[in-house]
Amino acid sequence: MRLRFKDIEGMHKARLSEIHEKHGVYGPYLRLIFTIIDGEFKDFRFSGIVRPTLIRQGRFYRWVTNILGHEPDEFSTEDLIGKTCMIYLSRKKDFYSVTDVSMI
């Protein structure tokens, strides 16, 4: 059997499947779990970590805006579950992580 490994780094269409609220050394953060919904990597799951900083200039605001498809004034994290977006996967040392989120 002939096999070839592929690199998954790059943009992928995904659905936000789960959100887990966590606490770390630097305070609270959210682990967002995305599931790729098309292409050869369909059903693969990857996570991204973001601090829930409530300022419009932050990464959290940008991710929420891109997941919802509009700028939110007020929302619940439950509103994000099931929404589709584009995710950018970057390779870390020995795993891949969501490092950015954009609108479809």
Tell me if 4 is assigned to some domain.
no
For residue range 29-68, what is the model confidence (pLDDT) as tens digits?
A: 999 999 999 999 999 999 999 999 999 999 999 999 999 9
- Please tell me the predicted confidence (pLDDT) of residue 65: 97
Residue 39 maps to a domain: yes
Structural domain of residue 77, as residue ranges? 10-102
Q: Report how many domains make up the chain.
A: 1
For residue 74, is it within any domain? Answer: yes
Q: Is residue 3 part of a domain?
A: no
Asked whether residue 22 is domain-assigned, the answer is yes
User: Considering the domain boundaries, does residue 5 fall inside one?
Assistant: no
Split at pLDDT 50, 70, 90, the class of 20 is very high
The residue among 8, 94, 69 whose CA lies nearest residue 43 is: 8
Res. 94 pLDDT band, cuts 50 70 90: confident
Q: What is the pTM for the complete model shown? A: 0.92
Mean pLDDT of the chain: 95
Strands of the sheet with 27-36, listed across from one edge: 45-50, 27-36, 10-24, 84-91, 96-102
